[in-house]
A = this chain, B = another copy of it.
Amino acid sequence: MSKRFAIGIDLGGTNLRVALVTGNGDVIKKVKEPISHDILESIFRLTEPLFSMDVEGIGLGVAGVIDRRNGKVLISPNLPAVEGINLVKEIRERFGVPVYLENDANCAALGEKWIGTGKEYPDFVLFTLGTGIGGGIIYANKLLNIAAEIGHMTIHADGEKCYCGNTGCLESYASARAILSRVVSALERGRESMLKEFHEGGFYKLGAEDIYRMALEGDNLARETLKDAGRHLGIGIASIINLVSPEAVILTGGLIGAWDIYIEEAIKEASRRAFKELFDRVKIIPSLLKDNAGVVGSVGLVFQKFA
């Protein structure tokens, strides 16, 4: 059988990823850039060089709530620019192949189910831990077609205002953006930390990796902030365990790079909070496909791996 190809596009909170992927889920080529103002132009520009007559379709994962019937993004707190665009129609007209739209975290869950960590688990919940926090739920080997906006569960009833309009969302306490914003406020208030010297004092340019690196070097502010975010993630994981009682919680996204501080703290907190009988049977484990989970999963949609 000749090889089959599709293109996967992952439009997360910060980065746009486009990849050429085979019918077996192998990523042949991948490009990535920070999301720009003109999202459609970026998508076209990155997709063009990967496209060929061999490409059977395009899968598209977008951070936000998806209207599957009409192929539209209903709302995207971290990516409001896409709300007005009919992405499916625009991309289909440009490339002349079928386009499949799904939530980005749902795509990542599908990718992990297809050829990743989730392969052996009929029931799991995937968390994407990046700029924002997203989720996807696999139940009886299939994706639940639900919003799964795990990042927008309230964990602090009277807490901080979230981008989505709610107050006290998990995402406002445990995401990369939350971590950065806490570090920056502390530095602005004059807190001593090695992070102050980063980027020649331009600490607004700090990234989550910088914070993790300094935490490893013993910086108190970096360490405390990561641990506190991890504790909050654990609260969200515990709620999800009590609700969904999955066999596995699979974690993906940039923040899992800080596993030994951030995730370990989350696991500790979840173990204190979830029903013991449910916590004892759940495995909390990293994604195998990592950054590729989204593009692979969206290509799975093209090849109808989950029909």
Q: Given that A157-B155, A157-B232 are known contacts, is A65 also in contact with B277, CB under 8 Å in the complex?
A: yes
* Chain B CB within 8 A of A81 CB: no
Scoring A residues 231 to 257 as 1 if CB is less than 8 Å from chain B, else 0, what string do you get?
A: 010010011011111100000000000
Closest-by-CB residue of B relative to A245 is B147
* Chain B CB within 8 A of A27 CB: no
* Chain B CB within 8 A of A153 CB: yes
Contact of A144 among B139, B166, B276 (CB under 8 A): B139
* Chain B CB within 8 A of A152 CB: yes
Contacts of A159 in B (CB 8 A): 157
Count of chain copies:
2
Contact of A149 among B165, B275, B276 (CB under 8 A): B275
* Chain B CB within 8 A of A148 CB: yes
Contacts of A244 in B (CB 8 A): 146-147
Contacts of A164 in B (CB 8 A): 275
* Chain B CB within 8 A of A267 CB: no
Task: Tell me the complex Cα distance, A150–B241, Å.
Answer: 11
* Chain B CB within 8 A of A92 CB: no
* Chain B CB within 8 A of A278 CB: yes
Scoring A residues 74 to 96 as 1 if CB is less than 8 Å from chain B, else 0, what string do you get?
A: 11000000000000000000000
Question: How far in angstroms is the closest Cβ of chain B from A287?
Answer: 20
Contact status A154-B273, CB under 8 Å: yes
Task: Tell me the complex Cα distance, A232–B168, Å.
Answer: 13
What are the nearest 10 A-B pairs in CB distance?
A147-B245, A153-B239, A74-B277, A149-B242, A152-B242, A166-B273, A75-B277, A146-B245, A154-B235, A146-B244
27 A-B Cβ contacts within 8 A? A65-B245, A65-B275, A65-B277, A65-B278, A74-B278, A75-B275, A75-B277, A139-B139, A139-B144, A146-B244, A147-B242, A147-B245, A147-B275, A149-B242, A152-B239, A152-B242, A153-B239, A153-B242, A153-B243, A154-B238, A154-B239, A157-B159, A157-B173, A166-B272, A167-B273, A239-B239, A243-B243
